[in-house]
Structure 1
Protein backbone atom coordinates (compact mmCIF):
# COMPACT_ATOMS: atom_id res chain seq x y z
CA UNK A 1 0.00 0.00 0.00
CA UNK A 2 1.27 3.46 -0.91
CA UNK A 3 0.89 6.37 1.48
CA UNK A 4 2.26 9.90 1.46
CA UNK A 5 5.09 8.53 3.61
CA UNK A 6 5.99 5.65 1.29
CA UNK A 7 5.13 2.01 0.75
CA UNK A 8 3.61 0.20 3.74
CA UNK A 9 2.17 -3.32 4.13
CA UNK A 10 -1.52 -3.89 3.52
CA UNK A 11 -3.71 -3.31 6.60
CA UNK A 12 -1.07 -1.04 8.16
CA UNK A 13 -2.08 2.58 8.61
CA UNK A 14 -0.57 5.91 9.56
CA UNK A 15 -2.40 7.54 12.44
CA UNK A 16 -1.77 10.81 14.20
CA UNK A 17 -0.30 10.40 17.66
CA UNK A 18 -3.15 12.36 19.21
CA UNK A 19 -5.69 9.89 17.80
CA UNK A 20 -3.88 7.03 19.55
CA UNK A 21 -3.81 8.71 22.96
CA UNK A 22 -6.17 9.18 25.86
CA UNK A 23 -4.55 12.54 26.48
CA UNK A 24 -1.55 14.68 25.59
CA UNK A 25 -1.11 17.45 28.13
CA UNK A 26 1.44 19.44 30.10
CA UNK A 27 1.76 20.96 33.55
CA UNK A 28 2.19 24.27 35.33
CA UNK A 29 4.88 25.67 37.58
CA UNK A 30 3.49 25.71 41.15
CA UNK A 31 4.85 29.20 41.81
CA UNK A 32 2.45 30.63 39.19
CA UNK A 33 -0.33 29.51 41.54
CA UNK A 34 1.38 30.99 44.57
CA UNK A 35 2.61 27.59 45.76
CA UNK A 36 6.15 26.71 46.78
CA UNK A 37 8.19 23.58 46.24
CA UNK A 38 8.79 21.40 49.29
CA UNK A 39 11.74 19.39 50.58
CA UNK A 40 9.84 16.12 50.17
CA UNK A 41 6.48 14.86 49.02
CA UNK A 42 5.13 14.20 45.54
CA UNK A 43 7.77 14.02 42.81
CA UNK A 44 7.82 16.99 40.45
CA UNK A 45 9.54 16.24 37.16
CA UNK A 46 11.30 18.98 35.21
CA UNK A 47 13.17 18.80 31.91
CA UNK A 48 16.48 18.29 33.70
CA UNK A 49 14.96 15.30 35.55
CA UNK A 50 15.03 13.29 32.30
CA UNK A 51 18.37 11.90 31.13
CA UNK A 52 19.52 11.57 27.53
CA UNK A 53 19.48 7.77 27.89
CA UNK A 54 15.71 7.91 28.70
CA UNK A 55 16.14 7.22 32.40
CA UNK A 56 15.18 9.57 35.24
CA UNK A 57 17.61 11.56 37.33
CA UNK A 58 15.79 11.36 40.65
CA UNK A 59 18.32 13.68 42.25
CA UNK A 60 16.89 16.41 40.00
CA UNK A 61 13.28 15.86 41.05
CA UNK A 62 11.62 18.74 42.86
CA UNK A 63 8.70 18.05 45.22
CA UNK A 64 5.26 19.44 45.94
CA UNK A 65 2.70 18.79 48.67
CA UNK A 66 -0.68 17.10 48.21
CA UNK A 67 -2.58 20.40 48.18
CA UNK A 68 -0.51 21.66 45.24
CA UNK A 69 -0.87 18.30 43.47
CA UNK A 70 -4.65 18.60 43.78
CA UNK A 71 -4.50 22.04 42.18
CA UNK A 72 -2.39 20.53 39.37
CA UNK A 73 -4.43 17.33 38.99
CA UNK A 74 -4.63 17.78 35.21
CA UNK A 75 -0.90 17.11 34.98
CA UNK A 76 -0.62 14.17 37.35
CA UNK A 77 1.70 11.56 35.89
CA UNK A 78 0.65 7.90 35.88
CA UNK A 79 2.59 4.68 35.48
CA UNK A 80 3.24 3.91 31.77
CA UNK A 81 2.89 7.54 30.72
CA UNK A 82 5.61 8.84 28.44
CA UNK A 83 7.06 12.19 29.48
CA UNK A 84 8.63 14.26 26.70
CA UNK A 85 10.44 17.59 26.99
CA UNK A 86 8.87 20.34 24.87
CA UNK A 87 10.77 23.45 25.98
CA UNK A 88 14.43 24.24 26.41
CA UNK A 89 16.20 20.98 25.58
CA UNK A 90 13.63 19.37 23.28
CA UNK A 91 12.85 15.73 22.77
CA UNK A 92 14.20 14.02 25.90
CA UNK A 93 11.76 11.35 26.98
CA UNK A 94 11.21 8.50 29.41
CA UNK A 95 8.66 5.81 30.18
CA UNK A 96 7.24 6.14 33.70
CA UNK A 97 7.36 3.14 36.02
CA UNK A 98 5.97 2.57 39.50
CA UNK A 99 9.08 3.98 41.20
CA UNK A 100 8.33 7.47 39.82
CA UNK A 101 4.70 7.95 40.84
CA UNK A 102 2.98 9.79 42.40
CA UNK A 103 4.36 12.59 40.28
CA UNK A 104 3.49 15.83 38.53
CA UNK A 105 5.23 18.12 36.06
CA UNK A 106 5.50 21.63 34.61
CA UNK A 107 4.85 23.26 31.23
CA UNK A 108 8.23 22.18 29.81
CA UNK A 109 7.25 18.51 29.86
CA UNK A 110 4.44 16.87 27.89
CA UNK A 111 2.58 13.87 29.25
CA UNK A 112 1.62 11.32 26.60
CA UNK A 113 -0.93 8.74 27.73
CA UNK A 114 -1.74 6.17 25.07
CA UNK A 115 -4.99 4.27 24.51
CA UNK A 116 -4.89 2.71 21.01
CA UNK A 117 -1.20 1.81 20.96
CA UNK A 118 0.78 0.26 23.77
CA UNK A 119 3.02 2.73 25.64
CA UNK A 120 5.97 0.38 25.12
CA UNK A 121 5.44 0.41 21.36
CA UNK A 122 5.31 4.20 21.20
CA UNK A 123 8.33 4.41 23.51
CA UNK A 124 10.27 2.09 21.19
CA UNK A 125 9.33 4.28 18.21
CA UNK A 126 10.73 7.29 20.05
CA UNK A 127 13.93 5.37 20.84
CA UNK A 128 14.16 4.67 17.10
CA UNK A 129 13.98 8.46 16.56
CA UNK A 130 10.74 8.18 14.61
CA UNK A 131 9.82 11.69 15.76
CA UNK A 132 13.06 13.62 15.33
CA UNK A 133 12.75 15.08 11.84
CA UNK A 134 9.04 15.85 12.15
CA UNK A 135 9.43 17.73 15.41
CA UNK A 136 12.60 19.46 14.25
CA UNK A 137 10.71 20.89 11.27
CA UNK A 138 7.84 22.02 13.50
CA UNK A 139 9.75 23.55 16.39
CA UNK A 140 8.58 27.03 17.36
CA UNK A 141 11.37 29.55 17.91
CA UNK A 142 10.82 32.12 20.63
CA UNK A 143 12.98 33.09 23.61
CA UNK A 144 13.64 29.36 23.80
CA UNK A 145 12.72 26.62 21.33
CA UNK A 146 9.50 24.81 22.12
CA UNK A 147 7.01 22.31 20.75
CA UNK A 148 3.28 22.84 21.09
CA UNK A 149 0.97 20.07 22.22
CA UNK A 150 -0.74 20.31 18.83
CA UNK A 151 2.56 19.53 17.12
CA UNK A 152 3.14 16.60 19.48
CA UNK A 153 -0.30 15.22 18.60
CA UNK A 154 0.24 15.61 14.85
CA UNK A 155 3.18 13.19 14.65
CA UNK A 156 2.30 10.45 12.11
CA UNK A 157 2.61 7.00 13.69
CA UNK A 158 2.67 3.78 11.69
CA UNK A 159 0.19 1.37 13.24
CA UNK A 160 0.76 -2.25 12.11
CA UNK A 161 -2.02 -4.82 12.00
CA UNK A 162 -2.69 -6.76 15.22
CA UNK A 163 -0.56 -9.78 14.32
CA UNK A 164 2.41 -7.61 13.41
CA UNK A 165 1.98 -5.57 16.61
CA UNK A 166 2.01 -8.76 18.68
CA UNK A 167 5.15 -10.04 16.95
CA UNK A 168 6.87 -6.67 17.31
CA UNK A 169 6.08 -6.42 21.02
CA UNK A 170 7.35 -9.96 21.64
CA UNK A 171 10.71 -8.65 20.42
CA UNK A 172 10.60 -5.23 22.06
CA UNK A 173 9.22 -5.91 25.55
CA UNK A 174 12.25 -7.95 26.76
CA UNK A 175 14.54 -5.13 25.60
CA UNK A 176 12.53 -2.50 27.48
CA UNK A 177 12.51 -4.71 30.57
CA UNK A 178 16.30 -5.05 30.32
CA UNK A 179 16.64 -1.26 29.99
CA UNK A 180 14.56 -0.71 33.12
CA UNK A 181 16.62 -3.27 35.02
CA UNK A 182 19.80 -1.51 33.91
CA UNK A 183 18.45 1.91 34.95
CA UNK A 184 17.59 0.53 38.40
CA UNK A 185 21.05 -1.00 38.79
CA UNK A 186 22.78 2.23 37.78
CA UNK A 187 20.65 4.10 40.31
CA UNK A 188 21.49 1.57 43.04
CA UNK A 189 25.21 1.81 42.34
CA UNK A 190 25.05 5.60 42.30
CA UNK A 191 23.35 5.64 45.70
CA UNK A 192 25.97 3.20 47.03
CA UNK A 193 28.76 5.43 45.72
CA UNK A 194 27.21 8.46 47.44
CA UNK A 195 26.94 6.55 50.73
CA UNK A 196 30.57 5.44 50.54
CA UNK A 197 31.71 8.97 49.72
CA UNK A 198 29.80 10.31 52.72
CA UNK A 199 31.32 7.71 55.04
CA UNK A 200 34.84 8.39 53.77
CA UNK A 201 34.38 12.14 54.24
CA UNK A 202 33.06 11.73 57.79
CA UNK A 203 35.93 9.40 58.77
CA UNK A 204 38.64 11.94 57.92
Structure 2
Protein backbone atom coordinates (compact mmCIF):
# COMPACT_ATOMS: atom_id res chain seq x y z
CA UNK A 1 0.00 0.00 0.00
CA UNK A 2 1.18 3.54 -0.82
CA UNK A 3 0.66 6.82 0.98
CA UNK A 4 -2.01 9.13 -0.43
CA UNK A 5 0.16 12.15 -1.15
CA UNK A 6 3.85 12.54 -1.95
CA UNK A 7 6.29 15.44 -2.36
CA UNK A 8 9.77 15.78 -3.89
CA UNK A 9 12.56 15.11 -1.41
CA UNK A 10 14.98 17.26 -3.38
CA UNK A 11 17.46 14.36 -3.41
CA UNK A 12 17.68 12.28 -6.56
CA UNK A 13 18.54 8.94 -4.96
CA UNK A 14 15.72 9.26 -2.40
CA UNK A 15 13.03 10.42 -4.80
CA UNK A 16 9.58 11.37 -3.56
CA UNK A 17 8.63 10.92 0.09
CA UNK A 18 5.23 11.00 1.84
CA UNK A 19 3.90 14.54 2.11
CA UNK A 20 3.96 14.61 5.93
CA UNK A 21 7.56 13.29 6.19
CA UNK A 22 10.55 15.64 6.48
CA UNK A 23 14.10 15.78 5.16
CA UNK A 24 16.77 16.98 7.56
CA UNK A 25 20.51 16.67 8.09
CA UNK A 26 22.12 14.06 10.31
CA UNK A 27 23.62 16.69 12.62
CA UNK A 28 20.12 17.91 13.53
CA UNK A 29 18.68 14.41 13.93
CA UNK A 30 21.07 12.65 16.34
CA UNK A 31 22.20 13.60 19.82
CA UNK A 32 25.93 13.26 19.27
CA UNK A 33 28.45 12.07 16.66
CA UNK A 34 31.60 10.54 18.14
CA UNK A 35 34.93 10.13 16.35
CA UNK A 36 37.84 7.97 17.49
CA UNK A 37 41.53 7.28 17.16
CA UNK A 38 44.28 4.67 17.33
CA UNK A 39 46.69 4.67 20.28
CA UNK A 40 50.34 3.96 19.49
CA UNK A 41 50.83 0.24 19.01
CA UNK A 42 54.41 0.54 20.23
CA UNK A 43 53.34 1.50 23.78
CA UNK A 44 52.46 -1.65 25.71
CA UNK A 45 50.56 0.28 28.41
CA UNK A 46 47.93 1.29 25.83
CA UNK A 47 46.78 -2.24 25.00
CA UNK A 48 45.21 -4.94 27.21
CA UNK A 49 43.17 -7.60 25.41
CA UNK A 50 42.11 -9.22 28.69
CA UNK A 51 40.87 -6.36 30.89
CA UNK A 52 40.81 -3.40 28.52
CA UNK A 53 37.96 -1.50 26.86
CA UNK A 54 36.86 -2.87 23.46
CA UNK A 55 38.41 -0.91 20.57
CA UNK A 56 36.48 -1.12 17.29
CA UNK A 57 38.22 -1.34 13.91
CA UNK A 58 36.82 -1.63 10.38
CA UNK A 59 37.62 -5.35 10.54
CA UNK A 60 35.39 -5.70 13.62
CA UNK A 61 32.49 -4.01 11.79
CA UNK A 62 32.95 -6.25 8.76
CA UNK A 63 32.79 -9.36 10.95
CA UNK A 64 29.88 -8.16 13.09
CA UNK A 65 27.02 -9.18 10.80
CA UNK A 66 25.02 -6.10 11.78
CA UNK A 67 25.42 -6.32 15.56
CA UNK A 68 28.84 -5.88 17.20
CA UNK A 69 29.30 -7.87 20.41
CA UNK A 70 33.11 -8.12 20.64
CA UNK A 71 36.33 -6.67 19.25
CA UNK A 72 39.65 -8.19 18.35
CA UNK A 73 41.63 -5.66 20.42
CA UNK A 74 41.13 -3.73 23.66
CA UNK A 75 42.78 -0.58 25.00
CA UNK A 76 43.48 0.74 28.49
CA UNK A 77 42.06 3.74 30.32
CA UNK A 78 45.50 5.34 30.02
CA UNK A 79 45.21 5.17 26.21
CA UNK A 80 41.71 6.63 26.37
CA UNK A 81 42.88 9.52 28.54
CA UNK A 82 46.09 10.19 26.61
CA UNK A 83 44.28 10.25 23.26
CA UNK A 84 41.16 11.98 24.60
CA UNK A 85 38.93 9.18 23.29
CA UNK A 86 35.26 8.79 24.20
CA UNK A 87 33.68 5.55 25.39
CA UNK A 88 30.59 5.04 23.26
CA UNK A 89 27.52 3.49 24.89
CA UNK A 90 25.72 0.32 23.89
CA UNK A 91 23.00 1.01 21.33
CA UNK A 92 25.11 3.36 19.21
CA UNK A 93 25.16 3.05 15.40
CA UNK A 94 28.72 2.75 14.06
CA UNK A 95 29.49 3.86 10.50
CA UNK A 96 32.78 3.43 8.65
CA UNK A 97 34.05 6.55 6.89
CA UNK A 98 37.22 5.06 5.34
CA UNK A 99 37.83 1.84 3.38
CA UNK A 100 34.49 -0.05 3.60
CA UNK A 101 32.63 3.23 3.14
CA UNK A 102 29.23 3.42 4.82
CA UNK A 103 29.46 -0.03 6.40
CA UNK A 104 27.21 0.04 9.44
CA UNK A 105 26.68 -1.99 12.61
CA UNK A 106 24.82 -1.65 15.92
CA UNK A 107 27.12 -1.51 18.94
CA UNK A 108 25.90 -4.00 21.54
CA UNK A 109 28.67 -3.22 24.04
CA UNK A 110 30.38 -0.10 25.36
CA UNK A 111 33.47 0.60 23.26
CA UNK A 112 35.93 3.04 21.72
CA UNK A 113 36.34 3.40 17.95
CA UNK A 114 39.29 4.13 15.69
CA UNK A 115 39.59 7.13 13.36
CA UNK A 116 37.92 5.30 10.46
CA UNK A 117 34.62 5.00 12.33
CA UNK A 118 31.98 7.37 13.67
CA UNK A 119 29.45 6.62 16.39
CA UNK A 120 25.93 8.01 15.96
CA UNK A 121 24.21 8.40 19.34
CA UNK A 122 20.50 8.66 18.69
CA UNK A 123 18.13 11.39 19.84
CA UNK A 124 15.07 9.21 20.41
CA UNK A 125 12.75 12.20 20.35
CA UNK A 126 13.65 12.76 16.68
CA UNK A 127 15.16 9.62 15.18
CA UNK A 128 15.16 6.19 16.83
CA UNK A 129 18.11 3.78 16.59
CA UNK A 130 16.17 0.97 14.93
CA UNK A 131 15.07 3.29 12.09
CA UNK A 132 18.61 4.69 11.69
CA UNK A 133 19.91 1.14 11.20
CA UNK A 134 17.62 0.51 8.26
CA UNK A 135 18.08 3.98 6.82
CA UNK A 136 21.88 3.61 6.78
CA UNK A 137 21.51 0.13 5.33
CA UNK A 138 19.60 1.76 2.45
CA UNK A 139 21.99 4.72 2.22
CA UNK A 140 25.11 2.52 2.06
CA UNK A 141 24.53 2.17 -1.69
CA UNK A 142 24.56 5.96 -2.18
CA UNK A 143 26.95 7.26 0.46
CA UNK A 144 29.85 7.27 -2.00
CA UNK A 145 28.20 10.31 -3.66
CA UNK A 146 29.45 12.33 -0.67
CA UNK A 147 32.97 10.89 -0.46
CA UNK A 148 36.24 12.62 -1.21
CA UNK A 149 37.52 12.11 -4.75
CA UNK A 150 40.85 10.46 -4.15
CA UNK A 151 42.40 7.00 -4.52
CA UNK A 152 40.47 5.60 -1.55
CA UNK A 153 36.94 6.84 -0.98
CA UNK A 154 36.39 8.36 2.46
CA UNK A 155 34.14 10.72 4.37
CA UNK A 156 35.02 13.31 6.97
CA UNK A 157 33.00 14.41 10.00
CA UNK A 158 31.62 17.50 8.25
CA UNK A 159 30.25 15.48 5.35
CA UNK A 160 28.73 12.92 7.69
CA UNK A 161 27.01 15.65 9.71
CA UNK A 162 25.45 17.04 6.53
CA UNK A 163 24.15 13.74 5.15
CA UNK A 164 20.43 13.90 4.34
CA UNK A 165 18.10 12.04 6.67
CA UNK A 166 14.46 11.09 6.14
CA UNK A 167 12.28 11.85 9.17
CA UNK A 168 8.94 10.08 9.38
CA UNK A 169 6.88 10.78 12.52
CA UNK A 170 8.19 8.77 15.49
CA UNK A 171 5.12 6.53 15.52
CA UNK A 172 5.81 5.56 11.90
CA UNK A 173 9.51 5.06 12.57
CA UNK A 174 8.56 2.49 15.20
CA UNK A 175 6.09 0.80 12.84
CA UNK A 176 8.67 0.72 10.04
CA UNK A 177 11.43 -0.66 12.27
CA UNK A 178 9.17 -3.37 13.71
CA UNK A 179 7.92 -4.31 10.24
CA UNK A 180 11.46 -4.57 8.83
CA UNK A 181 12.68 -6.48 11.90
CA UNK A 182 10.00 -9.08 11.22
CA UNK A 183 10.46 -9.27 7.45
CA UNK A 184 14.27 -9.19 7.36
CA UNK A 185 14.58 -11.80 10.13
CA UNK A 186 12.43 -14.16 8.08
CA UNK A 187 14.44 -13.45 4.94
CA UNK A 188 17.73 -13.89 6.82
CA UNK A 189 16.51 -17.17 8.30
CA UNK A 190 15.61 -18.45 4.85
CA UNK A 191 19.00 -17.35 3.47
CA UNK A 192 20.80 -19.19 6.28
CA UNK A 193 18.80 -22.36 5.56
CA UNK A 194 19.76 -22.15 1.90
CA UNK A 195 23.43 -21.58 2.80
CA UNK A 196 23.34 -24.71 4.97
CA UNK A 197 21.71 -26.54 2.07
CA UNK A 198 24.65 -25.52 -0.15
CA UNK A 199 27.06 -26.91 2.44
CA UNK A 200 25.15 -30.20 2.38
CA UNK A 201 25.35 -30.26 -1.42
CA UNK A 202 29.12 -29.69 -1.20
CA UNK A 203 29.41 -32.54 1.30
CA UNK A 204 27.38 -34.72 -1.05
CA UNK A 205 29.73 -33.75 -3.90
CA UNK A 206 32.81 -34.72 -1.87
CA UNK A 207 31.18 -37.97 -0.78
CA UNK A 208 30.35 -38.91 -4.37
CA UNK A 209 33.95 -38.33 -5.46
CA UNK A 210 35.43 -40.21 -2.50
CA UNK A 211 33.07 -43.14 -2.82
CA UNK A 212 34.03 -43.81 -6.40
CA UNK A 213 37.60 -42.59 -6.86
CA UNK A 214 38.80 -44.17 -3.60
CA UNK A 215 37.05 -47.46 -4.31
CA UNK A 216 34.55 -47.09 -1.47
CA UNK A 217 31.69 -47.71 -3.87
CA UNK A 218 31.84 -49.57 -7.16
CA UNK A 219 29.87 -49.60 -10.37
CA UNK A 220 28.98 -53.35 -10.15
CA UNK A 221 32.27 -54.87 -8.94
CA UNK A 222 32.97 -57.60 -6.39
CA UNK A 223 34.38 -56.33 -3.09
CA UNK A 224 36.51 -57.79 -0.30
CA UNK A 225 36.90 -56.45 3.23
CA UNK A 226 40.40 -55.19 4.01
CA UNK A 227 41.67 -52.82 6.70
CA UNK A 228 44.68 -50.69 7.46
CA UNK A 229 46.06 -53.56 9.52
CA UNK A 230 46.34 -55.98 6.64
CA UNK A 231 46.77 -53.65 3.71
CA UNK A 232 49.13 -50.62 3.63
CA UNK A 233 46.51 -47.98 2.82
CA UNK A 234 46.78 -44.36 3.92
CA UNK A 235 43.00 -43.95 4.25
CA UNK A 236 40.34 -45.17 6.68
CA UNK A 237 38.88 -48.67 6.65
CA UNK A 238 36.58 -49.34 3.72
CA UNK A 239 35.65 -51.98 1.18
CA UNK A 240 38.57 -52.44 -1.18
CA UNK A 241 37.88 -53.91 -4.64
CA UNK A 242 39.77 -57.16 -5.21
CA UNK A 243 40.94 -56.18 -8.67
CA UNK A 244 42.24 -52.71 -7.72
CA UNK A 245 45.95 -52.29 -7.10
CA UNK A 246 47.60 -50.71 -4.09
CA UNK A 247 50.78 -48.90 -5.07
CA UNK A 248 52.90 -45.86 -4.38
CA UNK A 249 52.35 -42.84 -6.62
CA UNK A 250 55.88 -43.17 -8.03
CA UNK A 251 54.56 -46.14 -10.00
CA UNK A 252 51.64 -44.08 -11.31
CA UNK A 253 53.30 -40.82 -12.31
CA UNK A 254 56.53 -38.89 -12.54
CA UNK A 255 56.80 -35.66 -10.62
CA UNK A 256 59.21 -32.73 -10.55
CA UNK A 257 59.28 -29.04 -9.69
CA UNK A 258 58.37 -26.43 -12.27
CA UNK A 259 60.86 -23.89 -13.57
CA UNK A 260 61.84 -20.54 -12.12
CA UNK A 261 60.58 -17.39 -13.83
CA UNK A 262 61.61 -13.78 -13.20
CA UNK A 263 58.97 -11.44 -11.78
CA UNK A 264 59.50 -8.99 -14.66
CA UNK A 265 58.48 -11.76 -17.06
CA UNK A 266 55.03 -11.98 -15.43
CA UNK A 267 52.22 -9.48 -16.00
CA UNK A 268 48.45 -9.42 -16.32
CA UNK A 269 48.28 -9.25 -20.09
CA UNK A 270 50.61 -12.02 -21.29
CA UNK A 271 49.69 -14.81 -23.67
CA UNK A 272 50.24 -17.87 -21.47
CA UNK A 273 49.14 -18.45 -17.86
CA UNK A 274 51.83 -18.82 -15.20
CA UNK A 275 50.96 -21.33 -12.46
CA UNK A 276 52.31 -20.94 -8.94
CA UNK A 277 51.55 -22.45 -5.54
CA UNK A 278 47.83 -21.67 -5.73
CA UNK A 279 46.83 -21.44 -9.36
CA UNK A 280 47.41 -18.69 -11.91
CA UNK A 281 49.77 -15.96 -10.66
CA UNK A 282 49.92 -13.96 -13.90
CA UNK A 283 50.75 -14.33 -17.58
CA UNK A 284 53.89 -14.55 -19.68
CA UNK A 285 54.97 -14.55 -23.30
CA UNK A 286 56.84 -17.81 -22.67
CA UNK A 287 55.68 -21.34 -21.88
CA UNK A 288 57.44 -24.46 -20.59
CA UNK A 289 54.72 -27.02 -21.29
CA UNK A 290 52.08 -27.54 -23.94
CA UNK A 291 50.89 -30.94 -22.65
CA UNK A 292 48.08 -32.14 -20.41
CA UNK A 293 49.64 -31.77 -16.94
CA UNK A 294 48.63 -32.28 -13.36
CA UNK A 295 49.85 -29.21 -11.45
CA UNK A 296 50.25 -29.46 -7.68
CA UNK A 297 50.85 -26.42 -5.50
CA UNK A 298 54.24 -26.86 -3.82
CA UNK A 299 54.55 -23.78 -1.57
CA UNK A 300 52.15 -21.85 0.67
CA UNK A 301 49.21 -22.43 2.99
CA UNK A 302 47.23 -24.07 0.17
CA UNK A 303 50.06 -26.28 -1.08
CA UNK A 304 48.82 -29.65 -2.31
CA UNK A 305 45.99 -28.14 -4.36
CA UNK A 306 45.57 -29.98 -7.65
CA UNK A 307 44.74 -28.73 -11.16
CA UNK A 308 44.50 -30.60 -14.46
CA UNK A 309 45.61 -28.15 -17.15
CA UNK A 310 45.97 -28.64 -20.91
CA UNK A 311 47.65 -26.38 -23.45
CA UNK A 312 50.56 -23.94 -23.33
CA UNK A 313 51.49 -22.57 -19.92
CA UNK A 314 54.41 -21.84 -17.62
CA UNK A 315 54.59 -24.00 -14.49
CA UNK A 316 56.74 -22.12 -11.96
CA UNK A 317 59.02 -23.60 -9.32
CA UNK A 318 56.31 -22.89 -6.71
CA UNK A 319 54.43 -25.85 -8.17
CA UNK A 320 55.03 -29.52 -8.93
CA UNK A 321 54.19 -30.96 -12.33
CA UNK A 322 53.05 -34.58 -12.58
CA UNK A 323 53.14 -36.69 -15.76
CA UNK A 324 50.87 -39.73 -15.66
CA UNK A 325 52.32 -43.01 -16.89
CA UNK A 326 50.72 -45.08 -19.66
CA UNK A 327 47.80 -47.16 -18.42
CA UNK A 328 46.44 -44.44 -16.14
CA UNK A 329 43.80 -41.82 -16.95
CA UNK A 330 44.80 -38.21 -16.32
CA UNK A 331 41.38 -37.16 -15.05
CA UNK A 332 41.07 -40.14 -12.72
CA UNK A 333 44.52 -39.56 -11.20
CA UNK A 334 43.86 -35.83 -10.88
CA UNK A 335 40.60 -36.47 -8.98
CA UNK A 336 42.35 -39.11 -6.88
CA UNK A 337 45.10 -36.66 -5.89
CA UNK A 338 42.49 -34.09 -4.85
CA UNK A 339 40.75 -36.69 -2.69
CA UNK A 340 43.79 -37.81 -0.69
CA UNK A 341 44.56 -34.32 0.71
CA UNK A 342 48.18 -33.76 -0.29
CA UNK A 343 48.23 -30.67 1.95
CA UNK A 344 48.59 -33.08 4.90
CA UNK A 345 52.11 -33.83 3.63
CA UNK A 346 53.24 -30.22 4.15
CA UNK A 347 55.86 -29.38 6.74
CA UNK A 348 54.87 -27.16 9.66
CA UNK A 349 57.27 -24.29 8.94
CA UNK A 350 56.25 -20.64 8.58
CA UNK A 351 56.18 -21.26 4.81
CA UNK A 352 54.48 -24.67 4.34
CA UNK A 353 55.65 -26.77 1.43
CA UNK A 354 55.47 -30.29 0.08
CA UNK A 355 58.12 -32.14 -1.90
CA UNK A 356 57.94 -34.43 -4.89
CA UNK A 357 59.62 -37.11 -2.79
CA UNK A 358 56.77 -37.14 -0.26
CA UNK A 359 54.14 -37.21 -3.00
CA UNK A 360 55.87 -40.08 -4.80
CA UNK A 361 55.81 -42.18 -1.62
CA UNK A 362 52.08 -41.68 -1.04
CA UNK A 363 50.15 -44.97 -1.24
CA UNK A 364 46.96 -45.09 -3.34
CA UNK A 365 44.53 -47.64 -4.67
CA UNK A 366 43.67 -47.64 -8.39
CA UNK A 367 41.70 -49.84 -10.83
CA UNK A 368 43.93 -52.04 -12.96
CA UNK A 369 42.16 -51.17 -16.20
CA UNK A 370 42.14 -47.67 -17.65
CA UNK A 371 38.64 -48.33 -19.01
CA UNK A 372 37.29 -48.61 -15.46
CA UNK A 373 39.14 -45.43 -14.45
CA UNK A 374 37.47 -43.63 -17.35
CA UNK A 375 34.07 -45.10 -16.47
CA UNK A 376 34.44 -43.80 -12.90
CA UNK A 377 35.42 -40.34 -14.20
CA UNK A 378 32.34 -40.21 -16.44
CA UNK A 379 30.08 -41.15 -13.53
CA UNK A 380 31.71 -38.62 -11.18
CA UNK A 381 31.44 -35.85 -13.79
CA UNK A 382 27.76 -36.58 -14.34
CA UNK A 383 26.99 -36.66 -10.61
CA UNK A 384 29.02 -33.56 -9.74
CA UNK A 385 27.41 -31.69 -12.64
CA UNK A 386 23.98 -32.53 -11.19
CA UNK A 387 25.06 -31.37 -7.71
CA UNK A 388 26.76 -28.23 -9.06
CA UNK A 389 23.54 -27.27 -10.82
CA UNK A 390 21.67 -27.56 -7.51
CA UNK A 391 24.32 -25.40 -5.82
CA UNK A 392 24.12 -22.80 -8.60
CA UNK A 393 20.32 -22.74 -8.42
CA UNK A 394 20.38 -22.31 -4.63
CA UNK A 395 23.00 -19.55 -4.87
CA UNK A 396 20.73 -17.74 -7.31
CA UNK A 397 17.83 -18.08 -4.88
CA UNK A 398 20.01 -16.54 -2.14
CA UNK A 399 20.98 -13.70 -4.48
CA UNK A 400 17.32 -12.98 -5.25
CA UNK A 401 16.41 -13.04 -1.54
CA UNK A 402 19.24 -10.59 -0.77
CA UNK A 403 18.06 -8.32 -3.59
CA UNK A 404 14.48 -8.51 -2.28
CA UNK A 405 15.74 -7.63 1.22
CA UNK A 406 17.60 -4.58 -0.12
CA UNK A 407 14.65 -3.39 -2.20
CA UNK A 408 12.19 -3.92 0.67
CA UNK A 409 14.28 -1.79 3.05
CA UNK A 410 14.69 0.90 0.38
CA UNK A 411 10.99 1.05 -0.44
CA UNK A 412 9.87 1.14 3.19
CA UNK A 413 12.35 3.68 4.65
CA UNK A 414 11.69 6.09 1.76
CA UNK A 415 7.92 5.74 2.09
CA UNK A 416 7.29 4.06 -1.28
CA UNK A 417 5.51 1.33 0.67
CA UNK A 418 3.23 2.26 3.56
CA UNK A 419 3.44 0.14 6.71
CA UNK A 420 0.11 -0.33 8.45
CA UNK A 421 -0.35 -1.03 12.15
CA UNK A 422 -2.25 -4.33 12.25
CA UNK A 423 -2.77 -4.26 16.00
TM-score by length of 1: 0.72
Alpha-carbon contact 1:54-1:92 (below 8 Å) kept = no
1:4-83 alignment runs, 5 A limit: 4-5=10-11, 6-31=15-40, 36-40=46-50, 41-51=52-62, 53-56=65-68, 58=70, 61-72=72-83, 74-83=85-94
- How far did residue 162 of structure 1 move? 3.5
- Cα distance in 1 for partners of 2:141, 2:86 equals 24
How many angstroms does 1:167 deviate by?
2.2
Higher relative contact order by CA 8 Å / sep ≥ 6: 1 or 2? 1
Higher share of residues assigned helix: 1
Q: Is the 8 A contact 1:120 1:176 kept in 2?
A: no
CA contact (8 A) 1:75 1:111 kept: no
Residue aligned with 1:43, SS: strand
Paired with 1:8 and 1:61, the residues of 2 have a C-alpha distance of 41
Matches within 5 A, 1:1-204: 1-5=7-11, 6-31=15-40, 36-40=46-50, 41-51=52-62, 53-56=65-68, 58=70, 61-72=72-83, 74-97=85-108, 100-101=109-110, 103-115=111-123, 116-127=126-137, 129-133=138-142, 135-142=143-150, 144-174=152-182
| Cα separation, 2, equivalents of 1:17 and 1:57 | 25
In the alignment, the residues of structure 2 paired with residue 105 and residue 47 of structure 1 have an alpha-carbon distance, to the nearest angstrom, of 9
3-state DSSP of counterpart to 1:157: strand
Question: What are the ranges of 5 or more consecutive residues in structure 2 without an aligned counterpart?
Answer: 1-6, 188-423
Q: Is the contact made by 1:18 and 1:153 (CA closer than 8 Å) also made in structure 2? A: yes
Structure 1 stretch 103-112 or stretch 158-167: which is displaced more? 158-167
Q: CA deviation at 1:74?
A: 4.3
Q: Give the number of aligned pairs.
A: 175
Counterpart Cα distance in 2 of 1:93 and 1:106: 14
1:56-87 per-residue CA deviation (whole Å, 9 max, x = no partner) reads 383x5211112222345543221111111111
Tell me the distance in 2 between the aligned counterparts of 1:33 and 1:13: 48
Secondary structure, counterpart of 1:27 in structure 2: coil
Cα gap change, 1:27/1:175 in structure 2, threshold over 3 Å: closer, same or farther? farther
d(CA) in 2 for partners of 1:112 and 1:57?
A: 17
Question: Deviation at 1:141?
Answer: 3.9
Q: Which has the larger radius of gyration?
A: 2
Distance 1:28 1:8, change over 3 A: same
1:3-59 per-residue CA deviation (whole Å, 9 max, x = no partner) reads 31343222210111111111123111111896632232111111111126324383x
